[in-house]
A and B are shown apart, each in its own frame.
Chain A
Amino acid sequence: MSGALEQLYQQIILDHSKLRHGEGLRPAPDGSVPGESHQYNPTCGDEITLRLARNGEQITAISWAGDGCSISMAAASVLTEIVDGGISEADLLSKVDNFRDVLRSRGTIEADEEVLGDAAAFSGVSRYPARVKCAMLSWVAAEEALLASR
């Protein structure tokens, strides 16, 4: 077995793919504005529906439902951790951009744990261009859900 596979499937990712934070769609709390997005990857059939709740510029809740590979499920879980407890819209958008840059870098950009938390473990995905879409699925859904809640 090459070490590359362990670089891709780090234990953090495997753990998140099993104990999925935020799984199960919940209604947005009273007083907040919901935004929802459905994303589908036609090449593998993976899909996710993600819902955010907005209070002004703050994103206050996130939940999702989906079916897919360990990379896509774990990516939704680590995203939930970032949003849980509240985050500003601008902050969330910049983290999505940062995550995308890391994933598309083909291994040239090292993820910053300070910025991405557990999502930094996805650095290894950047060496597998075919899997970038899997990791981005929920993060793109978050971008779209933000737009929908405006």
Chain B
Amino acid sequence: MPVVPTPTTLTEATAAIDDREVSHIRNDFPILAQQVNDNGLVYLDSGATSQNPLSVIEAEQEFYEQRNAAVHRGAHSLAVGATDVFEEAREAVARFIGARSNEVVWTANATEALNLLTYSFSNATAGRGSDDSRRFVVQPGDEIVVTEMEHHANLIPWQELAFRTGATLRYIPVDDDGALRMDEAAAVINEATKVVAFTHASNVLGCINPVEELIALAHARGAFAVLDGCQSVPHLPVDVKALDVDFLAFSGHKMLGPTGIGALYGKADLLNAMPPFLTGGSMITKVTMEGADYLPAPNRFEAGTQQISQAAALAVAVNYLQETGVKRIAAWEATLGRRLVEGLQQIEGVRVLGPGAGTERIGLAAFDIAGVHAHDVGQFLDDRGIAVRVGHHCAQPLHRRLGLIASTRASTYLYNTTADVDYFLEAMASVRSFFGARS
């Protein structure tokens, strides 16, 4: 059986996903069958990390059992085979987002992808790279734009780039409900803007941002558009060419893949004009004691021995998503998201963050519940076998803006049933009375 599927094996079903189909899907995920605190596990934390189907777990094992070797080095058969697996995986992931394979750079995760980008920009600013690299120079007077709802991974690397270069960091604010102030966006993004970096879907609010509009605004001002796809690529159809986005970062572990692998998409002409971030073996052509020449993208950005088994497994994950159908998954999660929000809004004292019922959202909902701290909510739910995320979800500025320190987040994926959501809502209905919270 080939480790990496070919496109011809992909057949997308058309009927909508329902609980019956999900019960079959669940059989593919061994971890979901376990008991937690004497209850069946109800996993509602896929926004943090998703679970893996057996085929993905086996792909990593199969790589080590049969194909393990260093890639792009050595002429022995095993090395050639490993290189094939590695590069076919890149093709599969590239195809998944509508990219060409030389436009996908492997990274450890989205965080590393965004750091790669910002450090490449500052290396260009420091004079490294070619004449073509001058377009990535960031200097005093330049502006970098993010949004107030960013995950720290798409905020701090830009703050640091601004500190290193003397550029100014600006942000598009959110309103009291957490929606992006698009009326402000047109003013915040201006002639001085060098980069606009924003999330496709918020890991806290669940909203899907008007990314086409933001990309168009950035391009109209000659700025690069950088998309954080952590919460969109796993859950929604994303086509980088249709979006015309310049860069896109995402993580494998949030899309049924293993930890330790993520990717940075970049338009080929941009990647090939950027100086490297990490340097060393595997990314060079000619090296002397005085300096080195670098390979084109994507290898230019992949110094050192890479995450090969993880790449192989991620390709299987992507295949799983495609076979199930990303559009169908998105529709199912929208159903679950609606059910979550509608149910939560009926519980006394609950304030759902982000768009209310009736507005488009991915299958997650974060909320505050009057009189009970998020940490206590999480503990109470865990006692019933329900796994949710509590805290600031790596979005402290957003929480502060919404007047909160922490919130509780339930996030779904293709393996969650409506029964999972209902069980969670039922538990939520008794949280306040358990803690004796007064109305």
State the A residues within 8 Å of B (CB).
Answer: 1-2, 4-5, 8-9, 14, 18, 43-46, 67-71, 128, 131, 134
Give every chain B residue within 8 A of A2 (Cβ-Cβ).
Answer: 37-38, 383
Instruction: Say yes or no: B391 contacts A45, CB within 8 Å.
Output: yes
Give every chain B residue within 8 A of A67 (Cβ-Cβ).
Answer: 405
Instruction: Say yes or no: A4 contacts B391, CB within 8 Å.
Output: no
Instruction: Say yes or no: A134 contacts B383, CB within 8 Å.
Output: no
Looking at the assembled complex, report how far the CB atom of A43 sits from the nearest CB atom of chain B, in whole angstroms.
6
Instruction: Say yes or no: A4 contacts B379, CB within 8 Å.
Output: no
> Interface code B403-439, partner A: CB below 8 Å = 1, 0 otherwise?
0011000000000000000000000000000111000
Closest to B371 in A: A18
Closest to A73 in B: B373
Instruction: Say yes or no: A71 contacts B376, CB within 8 Å.
Output: yes
The answer to whether residues A70 and B390 also contact, given A1-B383, A9-B435 and a CB cut-off of 8 A, is no
Bound-state Cα–Cα, A5 to B384, Å: 10
Known: A2-B37, A68-B373. 7 other contacts (CB 8 A): A2-B383, A4-B383, A5-B434, A9-B376, A45-B391, A45-B392, A69-B374
Interface check B29, CB cutoff 8 A: no
User: B379 contacts which of A1, A14, A18, A128 (Cβ < 8 Å)?
Assistant: A128
Interface check B396, CB cutoff 8 A: yes
Instruction: Say yes or no: B383 contacts A70, CB within 8 Å.
Output: no
Bound-state Cα–Cα, A1 to B379, Å: 12
Looking at the assembled complex, report how far the CB atom of A82 sits from the nearest CB atom of chain B, in whole angstroms.
23
Bound-state Cα–Cα, A43 to B1, Å: 43
Instruction: Say yes or no: A4 contacts B37, CB within 8 Å.
Output: yes
Looking at the assembled complex, report how far the CB atom of A70 sits from the nearest CB atom of chain B, in whole angstroms.
5
Give every chain B residue within 8 A of A128 (Cβ-Cβ).
Answer: 379
Interface check B380, CB cutoff 8 A: yes
The answer to whether residues A14 and B375 also contact, given A4-B37, A5-B380, A67-B405 and a CB cut-off of 8 A, is no
The answer to whether residues A45 and B405 also contact, given A14-B435, A71-B376 and a CB cut-off of 8 A, is yes
Instruction: Say yes or no: B436 contacts A45, CB within 8 Å.
Output: no
Looking at the assembled complex, report how far the CB atom of A42 sits from the nearest CB atom of chain B, in whole angstroms.
9
Instruction: Say yes or no: A70 contacts B405, CB within 8 Å.
Output: no
Bound-state Cα–Cα, A131 to B396, Å: 21
The 9 A-B pairs with the shortest beta carbon distances in the complex, nearest first, are A69-B375, A69-B373, A5-B383, A45-B405, A44-B391, A70-B376, A69-B376, A45-B406, A45-B392
Give every chain B residue within 8 A of A131 (Cβ-Cβ).
Answer: 375, 379
Bound-state Cα–Cα, A8 to B435, Å: 12
Bound-state Cα–Cα, A46 to B392, Å: 10
A-B contact count (CB 8 A): 51
User: B436 contacts which of A4, A18, A71, A134 (Cβ < 8 Å)?
Assistant: A18
Closest to B437 in A: A18
Instruction: Say yes or no: A5 contacts B391, CB within 8 Å.
Output: no
Bound-state Cα–Cα, A71 to B380, Å: 13
**22 pairs of residues in contact across A and B, judged by CB atoms under 8 Å:** A2-B37, A2-B38, A2-B383, A4-B383, A5-B380, A8-B379, A14-B436, A18-B436, A44-B374, A44-B390, A44-B392, A44-B406, A45-B396, A45-B399, A45-B406, A46-B405, A67-B405, A68-B373, A68-B375, A70-B373, A71-B376, A131-B379
Looking at the assembled complex, report how far the CB atom of B226 sits from the nearest CB atom of chain A, in whole angstroms.
26
Contact residues, B366-382 vs A (CB, 8 A): 372-376, 379-380
Instruction: Say yes or no: B375 contacts A44, CB within 8 Å.
Output: yes
Looking at the assembled complex, report how far the CB atom of A132 sits from the nearest CB atom of chain B, in whole angstroms.
13
Bound-state Cα–Cα, A45 to B367, Å: 16
Bound-state Cα–Cα, A70 to B374, Å: 10
Contact residues, B54-78 vs A (CB, 8 A): none
Looking at the assembled complex, report how far the CB atom of A4 sits from the nearest CB atom of chain B, in whole angstroms.
7
Give every chain B residue within 8 A of A14 (Cβ-Cβ).
Answer: 435-436
Give every chain A residue within 8 A of B436 (Cβ-Cβ).
Answer: 14, 18
Bound-state Cα–Cα, A8 to B383, Å: 11
Looking at the assembled complex, report how far the CB atom of B110 sits from the nearest CB atom of chain A, in whole angstroms.
20
Closest to A47 in B: B405
Give every chain B residue within 8 A of A4 (Cβ-Cβ).
Answer: 37, 383
Bound-state Cα–Cα, A128 to B435, Å: 18
Bound-state Cα–Cα, A4 to B384, Å: 11
Contact residues, B178-236 vs A (CB, 8 A): none
Give every chain A residue within 8 A of B37 (Cβ-Cβ).
Answer: 2, 4
Give every chain B residue within 8 A of A18 (Cβ-Cβ).
Answer: 436
Bound-state Cα–Cα, A134 to B372, Å: 15
The answer to whether residues A1 and B384 also contact, given A44-B390, A44-B391 and a CB cut-off of 8 A, is yes
Looking at the assembled complex, report how far the CB atom of A123 sits from the nearest CB atom of chain B, in whole angstroms.
16
Looking at the assembled complex, report how far the CB atom of A147 sits from the nearest CB atom of chain B, in whole angstroms.
27
Give every chain B residue within 8 A of A9 (Cβ-Cβ).
Answer: 376, 379, 434-435
User: B375 contacts which of A1, A5, A134 (Cβ < 8 Å)?
Assistant: A134
Give every chain B residue within 8 A of A134 (Cβ-Cβ).
Answer: 375
Instruction: Say yes or no: B390 contacts A5, CB within 8 Å.
Output: no
Closest to B384 in A: A1
Looking at the assembled complex, report how far the CB atom of A85 sits from the nearest CB atom of chain B, in whole angstroms.
28
Instruction: Say yes or no: B379 contacts A5, CB within 8 Å.
Output: yes
Give every chain A residue within 8 A of B399 (Cβ-Cβ).
Answer: 45
Looking at the assembled complex, report how far the CB atom of B439 sits from the nearest CB atom of chain A, in whole angstroms.
14
Bound-state Cα–Cα, A4 to B39, Å: 13
Bound-state Cα–Cα, A4 to B36, Å: 13
Give every chain A residue within 8 A of B391 (Cβ-Cβ).
Answer: 43-45
> Interface code B97-137, partner A: CB below 8 Å = 1, 0 otherwise?
00000000000000000000000000000000000000000
Interface centre among B375, B406, B436 (most CB of A within 10 A): B375
